[in-house]
């Protein structure tokens, strides 16, 4: 039988994805009393991402090793019906995201964190008291919100992701070996893009769009699927289906206080997913680790710990996120012109092209 939670803990992490698991591990490793909760029943399931991470993430994440299913060498970008533009090298890894999340949770448990699934933050009071879904009330000296784009912790401190992209993704058989991520840009995929990410003998195939076009997502993904199946690249059978929201408005204010409780946000809860590519795993890992470390600093008496955490996030992610938000806005404005071809705007709005990086 699972023992009841204590009424007061040093650190409470809400969410046990990569951000929350890394935060819990960092805080528990320092000897703090850490509880982490997640609404899901099992780590990483259901999978709600395309499972690609940049190669550099492996330099400080031990869990990566057993979770990698394929290495990625390059990126192939197609604009409308044009020939692919190759970006080589564009190194990365395709993960088994469920295995990756489970390994990070196992690491957090090994450091002493009390990790519990099937529990969510039902309410967060102005004094920082968190009431869980089983009616248990927990007070934490530090509360870490790592609970995704619709973060309850973020909502409690007024940091809300108001700009989102909605996604739909299917898994299909990959019929020909491939070591590149395929990107499909089109004004017919408003506010996002299509993708094919190979993972050995299967592939993740999907698209993201502005919420106003969510009703077209199935049509867009089905069309891309049939096109690739007709070319003999993927099978026609759909093996799995998933989807979810991605924050695309840039970084939110990631800290606050609720009564005597200090609050830090990490990962998607802090708006750290890239507003153009949607990539968020690496940012979740790094920000979660920092959130745990600065929670330790706060409880060791560093009165500047929350401000230092904000400064660190800004230094790591601020410039890249600001550029992506700007490019996203420019692209949306350009594509409102029905007479424009959109090719130049799509190039400027995507990371594979030099126009994206120009002033």
Does 58 fall in a domain? yes
Top pLDDT among 28 and 134 is at 28
> Of 105-109, 133-137, 225-229, 290-294, where does mean pLDDT reach its minimum?
133-137
Half-sphere exposure of 92 (CA within 13 A, CB side): 22
Does 345 fall in a domain? no
What residue spans of the chain are helical by DSSP H?
A: 18-29, 64-67, 97-110, 152-156, 217-230, 281-299, 305-313, 319-335, 343-348, 354-357
How many beta carbons lie within 10 A of that of residue 335, not counting itself? 17
Q: Mean of the pLDDT values across residues 289-317?
A: 98
Q: Mean of the pLDDT values across residues 185-202?
A: 96
pLDDT at 336 over 90: no
Between CA 260 and CA 102 the distance in angstroms is 32
The strand pairing partners of 58, in sequence order, are: none
Does 193 fall in a domain? no
Q: What is the mean pLDDT of the chain?
A: 94
Does 55 fall in a domain? yes
Does 210 fall in a domain? no
pLDDT at 37 over 60: yes
How many beta carbons lie within 10 A of that of residue 84, not counting itself? 15
CATH of the domain at 36: 3.50.50.60
pLDDT, residue 46, reads 85
**Binning pLDDT at 50, 70 and 90, where does residue 274 land?**
very high
Q: What's the sign of the alpha-carbon dihedral 53, 95, 293, 42? A: positive
* Tokens found for residue 114: 């009390």
Q: Mean of the pLDDT values across residues 90-104?
A: 94
Does 292 fall in a domain? yes
pLDDT, residue 48, reads 80
Residue 123 belongs to domain spanning: 8-70+93-162+249-324
Does 348 fall in a domain? no
Q: Mean of the pLDDT values across residues 287-309?
A: 98
Q: Mean of the pLDDT values across residues 294-307?
A: 98
Strands 121-124 and 130-132: antiparallel
Q: Mean of the pLDDT values across residues 171-196?
A: 96
Q: Give the chain's domain count.
A: 1
pLDDT at 311 over 90: yes
The strand pairing partners of 197, in sequence order, are: 204
pLDDT at 63 over 80: no
Does 347 fall in a domain? no
**Binning pLDDT at 50, 70 and 90, where does residue 31 land?**
very high
> Of 107-111, 153-157, 233-237, 339-343, where does mean pLDDT reach its minimum?
339-343
pLDDT at 138 over 70: yes
String of DSSP letters for 17-47 = SHHHHHHHHHHHHTT--EEEEESSSBTTBS-
Top pLDDT among 45 and 63 is at 45
């Amino acid at each position: 039988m699972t023992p009841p939670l204590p009424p007061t803990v040093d650190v409470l992490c809400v969410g046990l994805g990569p951000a929350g698991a890394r935060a819990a591990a960092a805080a528990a490793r320092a000897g703090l009393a850490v509880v982490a909760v997640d609404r899901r029943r099992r780590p990483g399931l259901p999978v709600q991402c395309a499972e690609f991470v940049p190669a550099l993430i492996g330099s400080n994440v031990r869990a990566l090793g057993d979770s990698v299913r394929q290495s990625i060498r390059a990126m192939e970008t197609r604009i409308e019906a044009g020939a692919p533009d190759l970006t080589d090298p564009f190194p990365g890894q395709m993960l088994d995201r469920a295995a990756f999340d489970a390994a990070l949770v196992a690491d957090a448990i090994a450091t002493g964190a009390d990790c519990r699934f099937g529990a969510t933050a039902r309410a967060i009071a102005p004094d920082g008291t968190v009431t869980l879904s089983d009616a248990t009330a927990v007070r934490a000296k530090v509360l870490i919100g790592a609970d995704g784009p619709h973060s309850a912790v973020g909502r409690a401190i007024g940091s809300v992701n108001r700009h989102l992209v909605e996604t739909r993704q299917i898994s299909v058989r990959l019929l020909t070996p491939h070591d590149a991520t395929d990107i499909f840009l089109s004004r017919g995929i408003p506010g996002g893009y299509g993708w094919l990410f190979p993972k050995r003998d299967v592939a993740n195939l999907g698209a993201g769009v502005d919420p106003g076009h969510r009703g077209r997502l199935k049509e867009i993904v089905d069309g891309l699927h049939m096109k690739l199946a007709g070319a003999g690249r993927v099978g026609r059978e759909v093996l799995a289906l998933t989807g979810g929201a991605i924050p695309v408005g840039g970084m939110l204010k990631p800290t606050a206080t609720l009564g005597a409780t200090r609050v830090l946000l990490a990962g998607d809860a802090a708006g750290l997913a890239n507003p153009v590519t949607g990539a968020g795993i690496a940012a979740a890992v790094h920000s979660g680790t920092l959130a745990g470390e600065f929670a330790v600093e706060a409880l060791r008496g560093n009165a500047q710990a929350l401000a230092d955490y904000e400064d660190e996030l800004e230094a790591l992610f601020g410039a890249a996120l600001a550029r992506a938000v700007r490019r996203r806005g420019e692209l949306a404005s350009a594509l409102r012109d029905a007479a424009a071809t959109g090719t130049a705007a799509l190039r400027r709005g995507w990371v594979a092209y030099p126009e994206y990086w120009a002033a």
